[in-house]
Structure 1
Amino acid sequence: MGSRLTGDERRVTLVMSALELAKRGGMEAVTIRAVAAHTGVSIGMVQYCFENKEELVVAMAEQLVLELSGSARITFDTLIDWSELRGRQGLYRLIRTGLEWGWPVIEANPERRLLTYEIMTQSLRHRDAGFPRAGAIAVAQREHMTAEVAAFLEECSRGTGTAWTEPVSAIARFGLASLDGLVLRWLVDRDTEVTKRHLDALAQAVAAKAVEVPADDDSAEDGE
């Protein structure tokens, strides 16, 4: 890894290296020493970027989340004509499209999704064994995912003239819990067609938690 890399670039390179190691040998294969050897840098360089393995694992979890949330953001670049996306029907279309854009990322990288769940379950197992700091990794992973989904849902509602009837964070947790179930089932049976029908049902269920906001009456202002 060249000396010209910035600190952020070094961190990304180390995280991608750690993900590759985890893909080959599971999370047990991810150590500071192994990441240094795989990346071709000193152990001190890895420790300069990540104080310990826990910090590296958190960064790995965040990278996995960003890979999915990035695909959802493409929705807003693709659906340029917002004028046709109004009300709950428009909201449903946006959410469905976001899921449709995100699904190929899941399908093309099943080992990445397995790592997402492996990181979470390993962290919770260590927490239950008496290491609360390890459990914080799972909490951070879920909070990061919830924040990404909530931001997406907020943008969807603003663009379609709708408002959520529940706290958006609660709706994001509902959506994530449902999506987790669908992803895990797909990882077992790899039935994409059935999964896509369930994704459509999920988009409808989430959109049903919103109401349409009446448009401002500009005519009254014009008459003043």
Structure 2
Amino acid sequence: MPLKRSFKRGLMAISLLTAGVVLASDNSLLDAVRKGRLQQVQQLIQQGAALDERGLDGSSPLLLATRDNRIDIARALIEAGADVNRKNLIQDSPYLLAGASGHNEILKLTLAHGADLKSTNRYGGTALIPACERGHVETVRLLIEAGVDLNHVNHLGWTCLMEAIVLSDGGPAHQQIVAQLIAAGADLNLPDRAGISPLQQAERRGQSAIAKLLRDAGAA
């Protein structure tokens, strides 16, 4: 039986390696990033470590650094050539996750190193949509300036403007975001799948400040 179990483990390890997946060890790049060890990360990069190795969930070292907002480590990986668009098994990439999380310094690095502005997450949304939903005002500004599509519709049938209303409390941060989207030229009348407009959604939710912004900008 022990021999049989060892054989099965060997087959599993071969399968993972074939898929480009590594099991993190104490001297792996994934492990160094996970533990926040910048100097070790730099040493491993200099030694030629695989920048885009993946853990069991498909996450690369850069994606782990982005998740934990380890800016210096992310910078070291990106400047060494790590892929800012490489996705894990649930379709997160460093660029998309930085936008959704409001990790602006890492987001700037990804934008400067080839971020795919058209890439989408598992919900079919661009980086701008969750940034609007979560109230990341500065992140929204960065993504608008980068040129992300303002009128992209995700799998739920919502644009970034719609998510800034439907999934928010209509507070100051989301008011600023709606104002940014208006100023940038977002389509204010794109309805959801039920045919309800952003203005109607804001009114239904009692978001009077956002409703006024939309009406003043000509929304119907």
TM-score (normalizing by structure 1): 0.30
Q: Whose relative contact order is higher, 1 or 2, with alpha carbons under 8 Å and at least 6 apart?
A: 1
Instruction: Identify, as 1 or 2, the structure richer in helix.
Output: 1
TM-score (normalizing by structure 2): 0.31
